[in-house]
Amino acid sequence: MTQLTKGDKAPDFSGFDQDNKMHQLSDYAGKKLVVFFYPKASTPGCTAEACDLRDNFARFEANNYALLGVSADAQAKQAKFKDKYNFPFPLLADEDKSVIEAFGVWGPKKFMGRTYDGIHRTTFIIDENGIIDEVISDVKTKVHASQILK
């Protein structure tokens, strides 16, 4: 896993969301961008995290933030997740893991004594000029918005 840190230039990513709309870093120039990576749509932790961000969306907008969720789920699964919980932000369906790998959040994980490769729940806050302002690797799913909007 590569580890991006504060001050690094954000990867020049591109990917399609749940509605097959292309998103890339340059689309967000002039805005602060929160890119949050989550392991799997509609699982308890990922749902709690995304719902907390949804519930605080007006605060993000008021502070010039755009939000973008990313997982390796298929577009149909991302669309179902977004619709079920009424998320006001897009969810990238990064099935080929190009965005996930560009940000260095794919790698070995442990669960119940088993090691496997997966997405590490990580959030990147990117400033208006495409520079990483903060990396949050210890995500608190139920209060994630307060970790970002300090």
Q: How far is CA 105 from CA 4, 34, 123, 133, 135, in A?
A: 9, 15, 10, 17, 11
- In angstroms, the CA 12 to CA 108 distance is 24
Whether 46 sits among the annotated catalytic residues: the reply is yes
Q: Are 81 and 91 in contact (CB under 8 A)?
A: yes
- In angstroms, the CA 29 to CA 13 distance is 13
Q: β-strands 65-71, 32-37: how paired?
A: parallel
Token pair 């210890």: residue: 138
Q: Which one is catalytic: 46, 79, 99, 119?
A: 46
The catalytic site residues sit at: 46
